[in-house]
Structure 1
Amino acid sequence: MAKRRAPLFLKRKSYRRRRLRDAARLLPILGGFLVLLPILWSPSGSSGADTAWDGIYLFSVWLALVALAAALAPGLAHDAPEGDEADLLPQARGEDFR
């Protein structure tokens, strides 16, 4: 009978670091969508574009993106080198952790 494999689990710290990297990769896509969003709405009741509100919106989006990037940066700064089995818990590597 084949030896049963232990489930593959990642350490919590490594898992969170990977999710932080994923969030950092999605930040420019979110920013691009939010910057292009004013193109979709049209001014209500006026024939001209409402550039003052659009400028305030774009500045707010820019400020929010800077704040999000600053919040994500500390978690990304201390990135340990990745290894195939370095991130695994001892049980998943087949070691006895007692």
Structure 2
Amino acid sequence: MARKATPLFLARRSYRRHRLMDAARLLPILGLVLIFLPGLWHPHGAGRAETASALIYLFGTWAVLIALAAALARGLAPALDAEDEAEGSVPRDEGTS
């Protein structure tokens, strides 16, 4: 008699934390791809890439990557604080004087 397969249950909070950690690991790779992308630009009728538009793109990409990293850090902060408390370390807010 075959056993009925039960679905694997993952808590919503830990599942979300793992997906955020995966996104944080992939963010540098995404950043490299987006930053090297202007090297592939070949405008029509010109032998070289337009410097002004490439620089605007680079700084815009840089700002978006910073915002994404801040959002991921904000999402992961409660989980990391809970892990620190579980290990017995001093919480960030109290510190030593």
The bucket for the TM-score relative to the shorter chain is 0.7 to 0.9
Distance 2:23 2:31 in 1: 12
Structure possessing the higher relative contact order (Cα contacts under 8 Å, 6 or more residues apart): 1
1:55-87: per-residue Cα shift (whole Å, max 9, x none)? 000000000001111111111112244xxxxxx
Match of 2:67 in 1: 67
Q: Give aligned-pair identity as a percent.
A: 62
TM-score by length of 2: 0.72
Partner of 1:90: none
How many residues align? The count is: 81
- Equivalent residue letter for 2:31: G
Q: Which runs of 5+ in 2 are unaligned?
A: 84-97
Amino acid at match of 2:53: W
Q: Which residue of 1 aligns with 2:34?
A: 34
Name the CA distance, whole Å, in 1 between partners of 2:21 and 2:75: 9
Map of 2:55 onto structure 1: 55
RMSD across aligned C-alpha pairs, in angstroms?
Answer: 2.0
The normalised TM-score by structure 1 is: 0.72
Task: Tell me how far 1:49 sits from its aligned partner.
Answer: 2.9
| Structure 1 partner of 2:19 | 19
Tell me how far apart the structure 2 counterparts of residues 58 and 48 of structure 1 sit (CA, whole Å).
17
Task: Give unmatched runs, 5+ long, in structure 1.
Answer: 82-98
CA distance in 1, matches of 2:34, 2:57: 9
